[in-house]
Amino acid sequence: MCSFIFYSSSSIRCNKDAKLSHLRRGPDATQVISVNGRSFCHNLLALNGSHTTQPILIESKGYILFFNGEIYNSDVIDYYGGNDTSYLIDLLENTDSIEAAFRSLDGEFVICVYSIACDSLSIATDLFRTKPVWVAYSSSNDEWSISTYLSAADSLLEAYTCEIPGNRFVTINFSSNSVLENKPLHHFNVNGAESTFSDWCRLFDAALVKRAPRTGRLLIPVSSGFDSGLIAYRCMHLGLDPILLSIIGCEDQPVMMRRKEQLGISFLELSRSKYKASLKNVLETVEDYSYTKHQPLLDIASLHQDPGAVGLYSVLEQGKNLGCKVSFSGQGADEIYSDYGFKGKKLANVSSLAGRYPADMRRIFPWKNLFSGTQRAYLMKDEHVAGSLGMESRYPFLDRNLFMCFLTLPAEVKNSSYKGPIGRWISELGIPVAQSKLGFSANRGLTS
């Protein structure tokens, strides 16, 4: 997790609360520079030992680079020792266009490149836009902000604000106050060459390995459900040595006791007083986010009203105390592999597919919760909560290669088990799992 704030005028001052929210997300180094009268601020979370402070001037191109997230291209590890900043610098120096450079990337990211000569900022987001980014524009004085959190836009007068979606390449020119480009970064072939269940399993393991931290321990919050269960068991099999934590009161306890015996999960008992303390921390340190803006059918309107955010904060805080900076999340599994349903039956009112996938995926692509809806709401819960603690959340189920493989799986593989390949592999591996969907309600089963 890093954060950034760009203002089109260096005279704009960020308000105190916004500055603190962004600093919590990048507590290890802060750098502010001004170029062409534009202001650039970047807050860094250092995850790989040595780090490179941003923003970075790429003199040969006249670019200023700053970004949030991780790049997973194999060259980052093979030739750059895990330093994705150095990889991006070389990539931009040796690629004809900024857009072409961005198209080659595998990762979870928001990347910004400012062209000094053109006075324009190009922004790229990964497929699901796992990292938050907001654009604000004030027509009264032609001022812009591009920032990790919405709160930075409060410094602009009567600004129009919006989030940049996933899978976008956007270029804004500040001399003309215009959006020059706004187009998809990648295009989908939803009925491409047919993939297999074995392909999916191989790519899932690869998604875990590429996201494993290169220094420090990995944290996995574990429930009694399918998604975190498959992540935890495969990470143990792959030798990634994660720390596994669970709030036992929220879960199917017989399932969790079996998982504890097999995996060595540590249980976190959440008392009423601890829950209240974590709730207070969430309200005071985690930037709020509207859920119902993206999915009006949700019963919980925003992050600050979500007991799951309190539980996640409690687990991540404990993981941080144990030395973890990176956490794996199961986010995206519900949205991609079941859409909260199975065999035509809705398991939640937010479902539009009821868990039924046709042979011709063009008939349903993209469904509501795939990129927007609950995907957006719950992704930002993970991002905002982890960011408030100076931790990074990573999302194996949102791996681009894995997702593209799922799209081209035969319909019978998608539909034969609950959550398709996830449920099938859970069954084949004999992983104990709760058969009913409980949801993560941390205010359930509190101790005295």
pLDDT attached to residue 290: 96
CATH class of 3-184: alpha beta
**pLDDT confidence of residue 36:** 96
pLDDT over 70 at 34, yes or no:
yes
Q: Over 80: is that where the pLDDT of 178 sits?
A: yes
User: What are the DSSP calls for 161-227, one per residue?
Assistant: EEE--SSEEEEEETTTTEEEEEEESS---TT-SPP-HHHHHHHHHHHHHHHS-SSSEEEEE--SSHH
- Of the pLDDT bands very low, low, confident and very high (cuts 50, 70, 90), residue 267 is very high
For residue 155, give the DSSP letter.
Answer: G
Task: Indicate the burial class of 185 (C-beta count within 10 angstroms; 0-12, 13-18, 19 or more).
Answer: middle
The ranges of the chain annotated as CATH 3.60.20.10 are: 3-184
Query: What number is the average pLDDT over the span 7-28?
Result: 94
**∠ CA 246-230-262 to the nearest 5 degrees?**
60
Domain 197-429 has CATH 3.50.50.60: no
Give mean pLDDT, residues 365-377. 96
Reported confidence tier of residue 447, pLDDT bands at 50, 70, 90: confident
The reported pLDDT for the residue numbered 438 is: 60
pLDDT tens column, 226-264: 999 999 999 999 999 999 999 988 889 999 999 999 999
pLDDT at 75: 81
Identify the CA nearest to 243 among candidates 184, 132, 324, 166: 324
Q: Which pLDDT does position 49 carry in this prediction?
A: 67
Residue 158's pLDDT is 87
Buried-state track 113-138, b at ≥16 Cβ within 10 A, e below 16:
bbbbeebbbbbbbbbbbbbbbbbbbb
- Residue whose structure tokens are 């009161």: 249
**320, 312 contact by CB (below 8 A):** no
Average pLDDT, whole number, for the chain?
Answer: 94
State both tokens at 405.
Answer: 């493989």
Q: Say how far apart CA 41 and CA 32 lie, in whole Å.
A: 4
DSSP state of 239: T
pLDDT at 45 over 70: yes
Q: Phi and psi for 58 in degrees, rounded to 5?
A: -100, 95
Question: Which tokens sit at 234?
Answer: 């495969």
Are 441 and 250 a contacting pair, CB within 8 Å? yes
What DSSP assignment string belongs to 242-304?
-EEEE-GGGS-HHHHHHHHHHH-PEE---BHHHHHHHHHHHHHHSPP-BSTTT-TT-S--BGG
Residue-wise pLDDT tens digits, 108-134 = 999 999 999 999 999 999 999 999 999
CA distance 202 to 420: 15
Local confidence band at 439 (pLDDT 50, 70, 90 cut-offs): low
What integer pLDDT is reported at residue 79 of this predicted model? 76
189-232 confidence digits (pLDDT tens): 888 789 999 999 999 999 999 999 988 899 999 999 999 999 99
Q: Is there a contact between 45 and 390 (Cβ–Cβ < 8 Å)?
A: yes
Residues 6+ apart with CB under 8 A from 107: 69, 70, 71, 72, 73, 84, 126
112 sits in which H/E element? strand 107-115
Give the CA count within 13 Å in the CB-facing half-sphere of 289.
Answer: 31
Instruction: Return the number of other C-beta atoms located less than 10 Å from residue 157's C-beta.
Output: 11
Return the beta strands (E) in 313-373 as ranges.
324-328, 341-342, 345-346
pLDDT at 90 over 90: yes
Say what the alpha-carbon torsion angle 320, 322, 324, 327 is, to the nearest 10 degrees.
-70
Is-contact 171 180, C-beta < 8 A?
yes
Residues of the chain with CATH 3.40.50.620: 197-429
Structure tokens at 219: 């944290």
Q: Is pLDDT above 90 for 269?
A: no
Q: Write the pLDDT tens digit of every residue in 306-315.
A: 999 999 999 9
pLDDT band at 83 (very low <50, low <70, confident <90, very high): confident
Full-prediction pTM beyond 0.85?
yes
